[in-house]
């Protein structure tokens, strides 16, 4: 019997300097999931990969991107169509940053540039009361730190979505669309190294916007609560499929 796999949908490649320094989004995701008890396969819709029938997968994670949902790139709209199919087939989905916004867009929400500008840094996330009943959030503290970097946001969630968390800047940090589908504006997979580089690579620009980048980098700490959401999602996917052992070789 063929085991179902967990798909990581890489939403395009980051700029070359990021690739050379840190790798790509799927690398960070895999590094954040050591000893994951499920086979992982990375898919690249922006490079022309055909996305499989959702019922052939154990789950899917949609990564962040330096693209913008409002650009309506062909690969992104193709992925949005696939998201709707995956929701209909009750595939476990986790969207992160761009993936969060694309899931909302696919389901009828409004995504655009945030009127207050970018949100970047390691910042507090506040869970709403509704999160107390959510299977991935119920045992988390009401406030926790997470890594963020984005200019666009979900300005209006889909009608079916429940808002489960917010930040001072962004009212829609976590959205639940169905018992199987959740999305996060923040990056649970980011290490301090990744967050620090995202801050420092554009320090000149960010400084003109009032950010103290050296201080922000110096204050970075581990974000175990945010990371736990990612781990628990993957564990739920693994629990629904026969156990396999994940290695770096699986992620190709």
Rounded mean pLDDT for each run of 10 residues along the chain, 252 residues in total: 86 97 98 92 98 97 98 98 98 99 99 98 99 97 99 99 98 98 99 98 97 98 98 94 41 37
Active-site amino acid positions? 97, 187, 189
In terms of Cβ atoms closer than 10 Å to its own Cβ (0-12, 13-18, 19+), residue 116 is exposed
Q: Which helix (H) or strand (E) holds 70?
A: none
Of the candidate CATH numbers 3.30.450.20, 3.40.50.300, 3.40.50.10860, 3.40.50.880, the domain formed by 5-250 belongs to: 3.40.50.880
What is the structure's pLDDT at 161? 98
What is the structure's pLDDT at 252? 36
What is the structure's pLDDT at 37? 84
Q: Where are the beta strands (DSSP E) in 72-142?
A: 93-96, 110-113, 119-127
What is the structure's pLDDT at 240? 80
What is the structure's pLDDT at 251? 38
- Which value, to the nearest 10 degrees, does the dihedral of the CA atoms of residues 118, 122, 126, 131 take? 100
What is the structure's pLDDT at 2? 59
| 52-89 burial code (b ≥16 CB/10 A, e <16) | eebeebbbbbbbbbebbbeeebebbebbbebbeebbee
What is the structure's pLDDT at 241? 67
Helices (H) and strands (E) counted in the chain, each on its own, are: 8, 11
Cα separation, 13 vs 55, whole angstroms:
26
Q: How many CA atoms lie within 13 A of 10 on its CB side?
A: 22
Query: Which pair of tokens denotes residue 216?
Result: 């922000």
């Amino acid at each position: 019997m063929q085991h179902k796999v967990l798909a990581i949908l890489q939403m395009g490649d980051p700029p070359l300097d990021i690739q050379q320094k840190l790798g790509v989004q799927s690398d960070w995701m895999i590094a954040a999931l050591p000893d994951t008890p499920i086979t992982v396969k990375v898919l690249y819709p922006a490079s022309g990969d055909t996305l499989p029938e959702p019922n052939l997968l154990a789950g899917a994670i949609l990564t962040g991107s330096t693209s913008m949902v409002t650009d309506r790139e062909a690969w992104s709209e193709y992925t949005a169509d696939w998201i709707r199919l995956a929701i209909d087939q009750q595939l476990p989905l986790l969207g992160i940053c761009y993936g969060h916004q694309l899931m909302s867009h696919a389901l009828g929400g409004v995504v655009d540039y945030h009127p207050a500008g970018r949100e970047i840094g390691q910042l507090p996330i506040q869970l709403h009361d509704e999160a107390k009943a959510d299977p991935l959030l119920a045992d988390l503290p009401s406030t926790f730190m997470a890594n963020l970097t984005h200019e666009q946001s979900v300005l209006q969630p889909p009608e079916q979505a429940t808002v489960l968390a917010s930040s001072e800047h962004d009212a829609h940090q976590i959205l639940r669309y169905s018992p199987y589908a959740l999305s996060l504006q923040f990056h649970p997979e980011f290490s301090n190294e990744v967050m620090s580089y995202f801050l420092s690579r554009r320090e000149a620009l960010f400084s003109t916007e009032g950010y103290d980048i050296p201080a922000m980098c110096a204050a970075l700490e581990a974000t175990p609560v945010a990371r736990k959401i990612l781990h628990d999602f993957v564990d739920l996917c693994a629990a629904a499929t026969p156990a396999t052992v994940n290695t770096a070789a699986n992620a190709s």
